[in-house]
Chain A
């Protein structure tokens, strides 16, 4: 069987009638329909427990929907092979709420991880990783282990790791939750720059209403597992 082609002409994300719940039967998401075009930028908001993290997990292929279909770069995640899902993941940068850094690696090594696991030689990416760490303000902390970094610094390493392979899709779960407002602003500007210069599709889950209002970007709002669409901007919902 031929592997599906990951297409940049297709919407980066398409979600069709997704219902998702736990094995226990509790529903987290109900009848979600949405589409994010390539190069778009959107926020995902909603109160705690509304299903934001679950929706994000479906969108970065960490889970498969129990009902309905999720397409990433035109590939349906439910039917894609493991190799295809691995290829998809290499085009997606994810910033987790809890950072998920490896404590035995330095900040530099954590940031370089997505490049290292694809077999690239260090000499090929070394300068890019150092530039990125300098940019997020960790130029003097590259040799530090995560356990010696503050929460904000760990967040910045996690963001550097998500951006290091210039992903086509960036998904961030509360990326500014652990940094001061000034650094939060810088990080968001970095993400915006990535969105504009490289046409990276960006979806950011956040509670930071001020940030959402300041950037005037489209908003997807989740409430009790249902998606409410703010139809501004270049994404569409059903």
Chain B
């Protein structure tokens, strides 16, 4: 008995499908990279906001180093306060340098500043700090960075919106190009559709053949594109991390569930779009046949 290998009913991938594979992979690379970048920018934005909103500065209007340290200890026990630290004179001088210049005389009286780190959910701390300090006989001014926080929040809003618009635009382009490329690749297979049709294959049978083929193609190409996007993003973000001490301002990669979702969803969407495009194209080709 001869060994009769069962070939797939659709021909193996040819040059047209190889081109489609490349197009889908490249587009998925761009989409996944944009997705990862947008996510990382969101993360960085949250981090900036946290940095600004979680800090306060207290100016001790009248008093010396011991007073500043005593006040720091007093405020450290307040609810909502993570830490309080009296800044030393060098820090104060560097803060005043834009107005008073450097090399200030040692006997020049300068206010003492205290840096306060607060809990993320702490509210109305300014009033509590002022009341507590005045109750202990200290005169203080509190700067809660609200003006900065508002500016940062506004900038972050613009950044988020820009990232989201770029992502939506790119995804729309990706969907259209994949659908168009699938349609073009399928037109070359009309002869197969015709033969299967006249041999008695049902429309659903023929359509399913092409849907499976193009779903698989979309999944493989999309997966490859997403993998390269992950590698590209890692290179970019880890490279940016080497940028220096201000690297916390740059987007950061974090291998969390969001990253995983971007990498899984991208090829899945590409596969589903290719499959739907295949179904529509084959449906049209079949409707032209009796």
Instruction: List residues of A whose CB falls within 8 A of some B CB.
Output: 60-64, 77, 82-83, 85-86, 89-90, 94, 100-106, 108-109, 113-114, 116-119, 122, 126, 130, 142-143, 161, 165
A82 touching B203 by the CB < 8 A rule? yes
B192 touching A102 by the CB < 8 A rule? yes
Out of B11, B198, B201, B205, name the residue touching A60 (CB < 8 Å): B198
A117 touching B200 by the CB < 8 A rule? yes
- A221 CB to nearest chain B CB (Å): 26
A126 touching B4 by the CB < 8 A rule? yes
Out of A82, A100, A143, name the residue touching B194 (CB < 8 Å): A100
Interfacial chain B residues near A60, Cβ < 8 Å: 198
For residues 1 through 53 of chain B, which have their beta carbon under 8 Å from a beta carbon of chain A? 2, 4, 6-7, 9, 11-12
Q: A62-B289, A85-B290, A104-B11 are in contact. Are A94 and B6 (CB under 8 A)?
A: no
Is B240 positioned at the interface, with any CB of A under 8 Å from its CB? no
A114 touching B4 by the CB < 8 A rule? no
B: number of interface residues (CB 8 Å): 22
- B194 CB to nearest chain A CB (Å): 7
Interface centre among B2, B4, B194, B200 (most CB of A within 10 A): B200
Q: A60-B198, A83-B202, A89-B198 are in contact. Are A105 and B7 (CB under 8 A)?
A: yes
Alpha-carbon gap, A143 to B7, bound state (A)? 11
Select from chain B the residue with minimum beta-carbon distance to A61.
B290
Alpha-carbon gap, A61 to B7, bound state (A)? 28
Alpha-carbon gap, A108 to B195, bound state (A)? 16
A104 touching B2 by the CB < 8 A rule? no
Interfacial chain B residues near A83, Cβ < 8 Å: 202
Could you mark each residue 160-195 of chain B with 1 if its beta carbon is under 8 Å from any beta carbon of chain A, else 0?
Answer: 000000000000000000000000000000011011
